[in-house]
Each structure stands twice: as C-alpha cells, then as structure tokens.
Structure 1
C-alpha cells in the first residue's frame, strides 16, 4: 500500500481487517477524521500477512480485528494470547487496538490481560476511533465501557467462585487462621491435624489464588473482601 501524504507528528498505523468494505474505507475515514494526523502505512487481511507487515512497518499503533483468517481464504477465527504475544514481539513499540463486531467478555479479558492496549466495538465513529488511537499512542489504555462492563461482571463471577473454593470446609479453616497470622505449625495445633495436612491445604490455596507467597494470599483475600468478612463465617 502506498504511503499517504502526512502532516508533521503524524501517527503511523497498520490496519488488519478481513472485511473488504471496512479495510477499503477505514484508512480514508481515519485520515479525514484526524486531518492527516494518522498515516495508514499498510493494511493486511490475514494473520500470516500481519506478522510480515509488522516486522517491516513497525507502526506506532496496530488496529486489528480480533477475528482474522490465518491465510487468505481461510475462515476467520479469534486471536489468542499466543498470537498476540507474537505480534508484540514482532514490533515491541507498537500499541495494539483490537476491534470486535461481536463483543465477548471472556475473549476481551484474555487479550487485554495478554497485553492489548485497547478494545472497541467496530460500530464506533471515525472521530472517536481517532481519539482512541491518539490516547493509546500516548501510552494510555482504552476499553469501550460496554465491553469493560462485561469484563467486570465476568470478574465478579470468577471472584465469587474463587471465594467459595477458598472458604470451603477445612481449607477455609486453614485460610482464616493463616490470615490471622498463625504459622503452619500453629494452624496444625489449632485444628488438631498434622503439619502435612496444613501444608497441603495451603498449597491448594496458592493454586486457587494464583500466588506463591503468604503475603500474596493476603492481598488476594483483601481484594476479594474475604479479610473483612472472615468473621462472618
């Protein structure tokens, strides 16, 4: 794709999109909305092509559909964390703005956690997309509020499930005593169980919370409200 005439301090972007109409009109719409501040340096329609384009172009921002074919003619499939990591390693300074036509909170959460800098619905207008691109280029993140609301609800459900697992049965007894500052030998004595039993329950707690230290367990429980509520159980 030939480079467009640019203005000083323009932001270079690559657009990856397999929908013919959108990839045809979006460069012009962004150029007009930004008064030339956005320079679309290249476009592509498949994942394999995108890896080559990124390596060559090294744009400031990549605007990428979350569902792309692997190669031209293949059916589009959702990006995953491993492919996003490939993109970020191929062009480490590039900021990634993902577009979706079918918001999926679970997919959005996984890609944002993996390093995506923005996530928006394709229905936004060009002026708004221009502002978001500039915000992302400036080092900030942006997730469309409706998508963020879905992620928040997902996290609430996940937290509830984790909380229930942590507080279940003897594991919950061990956790409460651990949060009260008791050592594993003291917990074993308090519950009249063996030290190996306590160590096994603590290992389960670490696995469930995804942390490796007691202070990490404390911080997760504090975030989830378990510390303030443990006296109720």
Structure 2
C-alpha cells in the first residue's frame, strides 16, 4: 500500500484528488494539509510514502517544505502538482529533493502512474517539462532573469510577491527583519528593479504568480 499525504491550499483540489485516488488499488490518502508548515508537521507525524504537493501556498511554500521534509526523511518521495511549468521552479524543486513534477493539467492516469513510479525510487517529470528543462540547460542565451537568485532569495521573492511583509517573512523563516530586508534589496539589485510592485509585475510576466495574488500585492 502506498500511503499518500495531499498538500494544497485549495480544499476543492484536495477533495478532487482524494476522490480520484480512493478507488485506486494500492494507494491510500492518509492525511491532508493546506500549508507548507502543515505538510512538514504531518509528514513527521504520519510518515507517508508519497507527498503530492502544490508549489505555491501560504507560509513557507512548497519549495522550502520539500527541503525540510527531505532533510527529516531522505526516503520520502515528493510529487509536485502545480500550475507552474516554467523555470526556475521545476529544476529548483528537483534539486531540493522532489522525485516528480506534474502540472495540474495532467491526466488522472498520469498522476497515478507518477505516484507509483516515484514510490519505486525513480523520478517522474511531465514530458513537456522535461523537454523544457533540457532545452534551457543546453541553449545559450535562454536564461531566466531569476536564475541569478539563490535558493533563499527565490523563496523570499515568492513570499514578497504573495503580499507578505518583512515581519511575517522573518517569522516564517526564523530570520531577523533586517536580514529579510537585506535579501530583499539584494533581489532588487540582481533583477534591476526598485520596488515590490516592480518585483510583482516581473513575477506576473514570468508566470510565477497568478493575477489574484498579484492584485493583493499591488494594492
């Protein structure tokens, strides 16, 4: 039996995936979480075999949650299920320890197949995303503007563009507000921008955030 933990901040998404998997032989959903912090806590408590997780959620998000869960349990298999197809997300998440990466537009059969494949210790990446990673890796002049950001800088960029302020980010990441602001200005310098609004607009152009998220940031 493959025990699965579902992680997504949209309850309807979790309900849909749970209903899909409940009739699949050999797979059982043993828990659900709506935040990265909740995922880390439940992964420690329930010890699932596979975590099916969204990338963008309130709090630390899927990237940092992946890093924390793998640090605690290196044998855990994590399958990203997200709307985001563009770099740097797939490569960064796989480097953080995820075993698979799918888009939410995939067929149900593909998600079931991916769960079984990564449970066997292999990796599973949607063919279109795998091709994109390969093309970007071997094509000069096709770098993303955020490729120059460190893992921590990318994480803080994501949190800023979701409308989170320095005190909230510092609490989530256990950093001082001064350190968070230092990262913030370093991000601005690397991306040649001057404000959170410009950062949000850049993230929108790159497909890193949805319109609804951007409206909250830019108000």
Deviations along 1:53-101, whole A, 9 cap, x unmatched? Answer: 000011110100011111xxxxxx7533x44221112333210100111
2:79 aligned residue (81, 97, 104): 97
Q: How many residues align?
A: 143
1:18 aligns with 2:14: no
Give 1:159 deviation, angstroms: 8.7
Deviation at 1:108, TM superposition (A): 0.6
Q: In structure 2, what is the equivalent of residue 68 of structure 1? A: 57
Match of residue 105 from structure 2: 123
Matched ranges for 1:81-230 at <5 A: 82-157=64-139
Distance 1:159 1:57, change over 3 A: farther
Of residues 19, 32, 38, the one that matches 1:28 is 19
Unaligned runs of 5+ in 1: 1-9, 71-76, 162-233
Greater Cα radius of gyration, structure 1 or 2: 1
The 2-side partners of 1:50 and 1:44 are apart by 5
CA offsets 1:21-74 (integer angstroms, 9 cap, x no match): 111121120122x23x1110000101111111000011110100011111xxxx
Q: Which runs of 5+ in 2 are unaligned?
A: 144-219
2:62 corresponds to which of 79, 86, 89: 79
SS of 2:101's equivalent in the other structure is strand
- TM-score, with length taken from structure 2: 0.60
CA distance in 2, matches of 1:133, 1:160: 31
Q: What corresponds to 1:43 in structure 2? A: 32
Whether the aligned pair in 1 keeps the contact of 2:94 and 2:100 (CA below 8 Å) is yes
Taking the aligned partners of 2:102 and 2:142, their CA distance within structure 1 comes to 27
User: SS where residue 105 of structure 1 aligns?
Assistant: coil
Instruction: Give the Å deviation of 1:149.
Output: 1.4
**C-alpha RMSD of matched pairs (Å):** 2.0
Aligned partners of 2:65 and 2:9: how far apart in 1? 17
- 8 A contact 2:37–2:65 mirrored in 1: no
Please give the alpha-carbon distance, in whole angstroms, between the structure 1 residues aligned to 2:8 and 2:142.
37
The 3-state SS of whatever aligns with 1:21 is: helix
SS of equivalent to 2:9: coil
* Cα distance in 2 between the residues matched to 1:85 and 1:78: 10
Q: Helix, strand or coil for the counterpart of 2:88? A: helix
Give deviations 1:167-186, integer Å, cap 9, x for gaps. Answer: xxxxxxxxxxxxxxxxxxxx
* SS of the residue 2:105 aligns to: coil
